[in-house]
A and B are shown apart, each in its own frame.
Chain A
Amino acid sequence: AQTVTQSQPEMSVQEAETVTLSCTYDTSESNYYLFWYKQPPSRQMILVIRQEAYKQQNATENRFSVNFQKAAKSFSLKISDSQLGDTAMYFCAYQSGTYKYIFGTGTRLKVLA
């Protein structure tokens, strides 16, 4: 069975600094997708960034980028120029086949002014 592990329950970063959130996963599949979702307090989850496993190039979305290491089954999220609005729970998620997501336990990120 596929699993997703986020080993950092909480992190904090100063505004305008850079922070990296870690995620590892386990799968025997060769084709899959990886995602980072953001869940602000009392608001719905929104997609931050996604990566197709067959693509070697790391995905980037403005201030958000990933470091995808397929052999190591690692998928970290880097947030550059952190903003107060980045304060949220961040979930790493895996998806393949049936399109259901398997989520990690999340990392609570707090951006400090």
Chain B
Amino acid sequence: DTGVSQNPRHKITKRGQNVTFRCDPISEHNRLYWYRQTLGQGPEFLTYFQNEAQLEKSRLLSDRFSAERPKGSFSTLEIQRTEQGDSAMYLCASSLGMGDTEAFFGQGTRLTVV
């Protein structure tokens, strides 16, 4: 088991472009989370999945953001029509669920919108 994997590690995009990030959780982890972290701040919750079902979305997640987790395995986070304010580190985490509360985090995808 190699931990939570996120790709790409870095992404630079022009304002208005669409971007997609991928997260591969630890195998057999039922829960998958996306967080956003801006410089000098703690991670902010965006959304989470229990298997393939998206169970909660933050109000931070505008309609330009969409996340999927097909078949309850990897997850993608897409941002449409990117804005400079979207520049941040996007973190993915996974946990077993089933009462286990520890989440394991990936190294994140750093998005820069120019």
For A42, what are the chain B residues with a Cβ–Cβ distance below 8 Å?
107
B28 located at the interface, meaning its Cβ lies under 8 Å from any Cβ of chain A in the complex: no
For B108, what are the chain A residues with a Cβ–Cβ distance below 8 Å?
44
Residue of A nearest to B45 (CB): A100
Q: How far is the CA of A104 from the CA of B44 in the complex (A)?
A: 9
Q: Please provide the chain B residues from 1 to 57 with a CB less than 8 Å away from any CB of chain A in the complex.
A: 3-4, 31, 33, 35, 40-45, 48, 55-56
Task: State the interface size on chain A (CB cutoff 8 A).
Answer: 24
Residue of A nearest to B103 (CB): A101
Q: Please provide the chain A residues from 38 to 97 with a CB less than 8 Å away from any CB of chain B in the complex.
A: 42-47, 50, 91, 93, 95
A99 contact from B40, B41, B44, B95, Cβ within 8 A = B95
Q: Is the CB of A99 within 8 A of B105?
A: no
Q: How far is the CA of A109 from the CA of B31 in the complex (A)?
A: 30
B62 located at the interface, meaning its Cβ lies under 8 Å from any Cβ of chain A in the complex: no
For B91, what are the chain A residues with a Cβ–Cβ distance below 8 Å?
45
B97 located at the interface, meaning its Cβ lies under 8 Å from any Cβ of chain A in the complex: yes
Contact count A vs B, C-beta below 8 Å? 55
A98 located at the interface, meaning its Cβ lies under 8 Å from any Cβ of chain B in the complex: yes
For B48, what are the chain A residues with a Cβ–Cβ distance below 8 Å?
98-100
Q: How far is the CA of A44 from the CA of B43 in the complex (A)?
A: 12
A105 located at the interface, meaning its Cβ lies under 8 Å from any Cβ of chain B in the complex: yes
Q: Is the CB of A105 within 8 A of B107?
A: no
Q: Is the CB of B101 within 8 A of A33?
A: yes
Known: A98-B55, A99-B95. A47 touches B45 (CB 8 A): no
For B55, what are the chain A residues with a Cβ–Cβ distance below 8 Å?
98
Q: Is the CB of A99 within 8 A of B42?
A: no
Q: Is the CB of A50 within 8 A of B45?
A: no
Q: Is the CB of A105 within 8 A of B101?
A: no
Apart from A37-B105, A44-B105, list 14 A-B contacts with CB within 8 A: A4-B42, A6-B42, A44-B3, A45-B91, A47-B102, A47-B103, A93-B42, A98-B56, A100-B45, A100-B48, A100-B56, A101-B93, A105-B41, A106-B41
